[in-house]
Amino acid sequence: MTHGHPDWSLYRSFLSVLRTGSLSAAARDDGLTQPTVGRHIDTLEQALGVALFTRSQQGLTPTEAALELQPYAESLEATAAALVRAAVGRAGTQGTVRITASEVVGAEVLPPILTQLRADHPEITLELVLSNRTEDLLQREADIAVRMVRPTQQALSARRVGDIELGLHARREYLDRHGTPTSVAELREHALIGFDHENAFIRSVRAQGLAVERSMFALRSDSDLAQLACLRAGFGIGVCQVGLARRGPELVRVLAKSFLFKLEVWIVMHSDLRSSRRCRVVSDALARGLSAYCASS
């Protein structure tokens, strides 16, 4: 390994080749020439003292060393993007704000809130990341997060905006065909929609005395959007946000007294961003919109 730190541009080319599988495709994505990207890879390999790719008929195949280095390069990429977002328009509202939220909240709840935000502040560019994993704000993977749990890191600033109520629902036509369960025990006679892999929500359901097991479900998916789509299609009975179900007459709530859960809703951002007018504007808009949504649940 050579002395000194490799230039960030080398890692950017490294990530592009990892993602595209070829020098030519990476060059197109980054607006560079193929020889330039090739030189970047060669220089980085020499600086680090490891081989990053092997050439084959299918293109460039990453070595084990490259795969081990990938998350660190991605962390550099996220930090560099956060630096640019923080620097541009620091004193004003012009610039980009990156938001992360769960699949259902991001796809079903946030769009009208973001639409109003755009109408009020067209100078702000928004990036929306839908992910059910907890994005690491400390690593600047996003500027603002909508989370269903209170963060514990002291470096994060969080405010609770309300609770989202969850309940069991089914399409009306499904209940007309198969009947409406009158007890939790009768759920076993129905086509249930649920998880494939256990998560924190499932553990919280069990903690409240409901024995939920993977084998109970006729359809299993870890995608909340896929579960919601199947619920709306009439596949069976599944969990849905009460506020979403009330948007139309097709979904009917069942066992409302036996199955009732609430998720806390938090708006979270790094404490360093509290001085950013742009992030405050977006955070306030999210808080207003989500508070209204929670109140309607």
- Write the secondary structure of the chain as one string of H (helix), E (strand) and C (coil): CCCCCCCHHHHHHHHHHHHHCCHHHHHHHHCCCHHHHHHHHHHHHHHHCCCCEEEECCEEEECHHHHHHHHHHHHHHHHHHHHHHHHCCCCCCCEEEEEEECHHHHHHHHHHHHHHHHHHCCCEEEEEEECCCCCCHHHCCCCEEEECCCCCCCCEEEEEEEEEEEEEEEEHHHHHHHCCCCCCHHHHHCCEEECCCCCHHHHHHHHCCCCCCHHHCCEECCCHHHHHHHHHHCCCEEEEEHHHHCCCCCEEEECCCCCCEEEEEEEEEEHHHHHCHHHHHHHHHHHHHHHHHHHHC
Domain termination site, one of 33, 68, 86: 86
Q: Determine if the pTM surpasses 0.75.
A: no
Query: Which pLDDT belongs to residue 56?
Result: 77
Amino acid at 190: H
Query: Which pLDDT belongs to residue 109?
Result: 96
Nearest to 140 by CA among 76, 220, 61: 76
Q: Which of 73-87, 122-136, 190-204, 281-295 has the highest mean pLDDT?
A: 281-295
Residue 251's CATH number: 3.40.190.10
pLDDT digits over 61-113, tens only? 999 999 999 988 888 887 777 776 666 545 568 888 999 999 999 999 999 99
Both 173 and 123 in a single domain? no
Specify the higher pLDDT residue, 152 or 157: 157
Count structural domains, the chain. Answer: 3
Domain termination site, one of 68, 86, 104: 86
Please compute the mean of the pLDDT values over residues 197-209 and round it to a whole number: 73
- Residue range(s) defining the domain that contains residue 95: 91-161+264-296
Mean pLDDT for all residues in the chain: 87
Both 197 and 167 in a single domain? yes
Both 174 and 259 in a single domain? yes
Both 172 and 249 in a single domain? yes
Please compute the mean of the pLDDT values over residues 192-215 and round it to a whole number: 78
Domain termination site, one of 86, 121, 137: 86
Q: Are 97 and 144 in contact (CB under 8 A)?
A: yes
> Residue 117 pLDDT > 90, yes or no?
yes
Q: Are 169 and 238 in contact (CB under 8 A)?
A: yes
Both 31 and 145 in a single domain? no
> Residue 295 pLDDT > 80, yes or no?
yes
The verdict on residue 201 lying in a domain is yes
Both 175 and 252 in a single domain? yes
Both 175 and 257 in a single domain? yes
The verdict on residue 15 lying in a domain is yes
Both 139 and 203 in a single domain? no
pLDDT digits over 17-39, tens only? 999 989 999 999 888 899 999 99
Percent of the chain past pLDDT 90, that is, above it, reads 54
> Residue 114 pLDDT > 70, yes or no?
yes
Looking at beta carbons, which pairs linking 200-207 to residues 24 or more positions away fall under 8 Å? Answer: 200/149, 201/261, 201/263, 204/261, 205/261
Both 12 and 136 in a single domain? no
Backbone angles phi, psi at 230, to 5 degrees: -70, -35
